[in-house]
A and B are shown apart, each in its own frame.
Chain A
Amino acid sequence: MIITKNHRTAELIHHDYSLIPVIMRFGINFGFGDKTVEEVCQENQINLDFFLAIINAFHDNDYFTNQELNQFPLRLIVEYLLKSHKQYAEVKIPRIEKLIEKLTWDENDEMNKTLIRNFFSQYTQEVFEHLDFEENNIYPYITGIEAAYESGEISSSLASKIKEKTISDYGEEHSDIDSKLLDLKNILIKYLPHPKNEDVLSTLIAEVFRFESDLENHTTIENKILVPRVLEIEKKLLTKID
């Protein structure tokens, strides 16, 4: 189903509840009654077309390939990605940490918990380094280069940065943060002994799956939308510099 501005917001969630975090990170609050997507976007001053493009891409991953997201300014996409980073750090990761703390076993309780806790905390450290790097280097560079392209004014520091190939390097080594999640899933599903509170473990596994798929979509936006467009802008700017 393609989601349009006339759908009721509540309907989206009935249809695909994995959209909840996406809707939340746009700053839309629950309690939307029968308001349509158009209405809640208006109320919250959200760019309607951009919201629809993101929601549809998360709802149906094939939608990524139809280039819908290419019509929006990069700064709008970056602003959205920053909100996702914030939600990962403040909601999704802490939620997984809390579930890990709740797990209990009759035997080897402390050891099992320590293993999972340490594994996950190593992982989150890598994730935070990744997010910090993007927030401090990649994203500012992207908005800077877009501004330069629009105004036609290229500072010499920006010109030298373009020549450093920051973005093509970034694009090449960018998906490293998933392989540890795959390990975590297999450890939880295949190798961790059955805990006393199996409901916590099932919730934890489901939560890791959700985080992973959200992260995958996030990385797809970075790799398939941001990187190619920045490379294109860089090419155009380089001809101007030379």
Chain B
Amino acid sequence: MADQNFKSEPNRIQYLNEQKAQGRYLLGVFPALYPREILWALNILPVEIWDPPGTAVLANKHLQPYICPIVRNGLELILRGETDIVDGFLFPHTCDSLQNLASIVNDHLELNKPVFSFYHPKMPYTAATQKFYRAQLEILINQLTSIFSPIDTDRLTECLRLSHEIGRQLNKIFKLQRTNQLSFSNSEYYPILRQGEFLWPEDYLKLLNEITAGETIPSKPDTAIVLSGILPNPVEILSLLDKLNVKVAADDLLNNQRRFYLPQSKFSNPLDALTEAYLKRPPCSTIGTPISERLNHLIKLAIGSKAKGVVFLIPKFCEPELFDLPQLKQGLQKAGISSLVIETELNCGLTGQLTTRLEAFIEMLGN
């Protein structure tokens, strides 16, 4: 492998402080879909908030017990004062829970920080969708520029190119991983990719380039699976898969490949290019893709990666995902693909039951 350094994650707080010292703004961004290229072009570093460590205590004052842990832990992080470093928050319109969190943060916490919402359209798309999305991009730009720096069109074009390059490298890595040409275990692979949640694009691209430039060492897993759901947590699941010699050969996680898209490298208008890229996103419960489309996508992923089964990792109470799951499971089974649903907290470690379910599923695939 090339330089082993990328395996050790930079200290996040130190990195963010350095970014600030360079004159960058930081925006705390909640999941999941947002036009990061626009933020970059405005000299804003998006710092994504998915699975902050720790257990929620303070957040319970504002939230009912049946709210997903992404929302709960995110609010806890804010209430503990651990987001003081960011200059504002961005809430994409992902689900009702995040929408409500946006209002709690905006209306009740008196943080004295701007709170932005990004309304992206849901399916079914109509003739007006394209226009609507483009208008949302403009609204977001206007809101951000009124508070932060003005937009530099050349830099925006450059940021789309960076985004394209990041997408191209990620694609390459996904392919190497799928074809067992990378020696990364599951527990190494995800933390590396997830650094994109807080690295400046040039830094992230450098990291990805290092990975793809390194020599490839083939791995020989016993079993390949597709990982779907929201994010690869609890992280101990990845080590358990490693121990069982199971490889995540393809991924449909909201926080990873489901957000993945490749904007064109040549375009005449950056906002049109971003709009086009949005409309071509992979199927996702949070944009209301018809279940049949998502099912076909999953089946294709499984067949293309020679995966024997699909594991869904779902944060507890995640409505968008949970509503689709019974039909997805049934459809997969009809297509001869077994699946397992794990509904879980984000930072809970492995319970005996969780271990048994995952191990039994792998035993089942091995038959």
Same complex: no
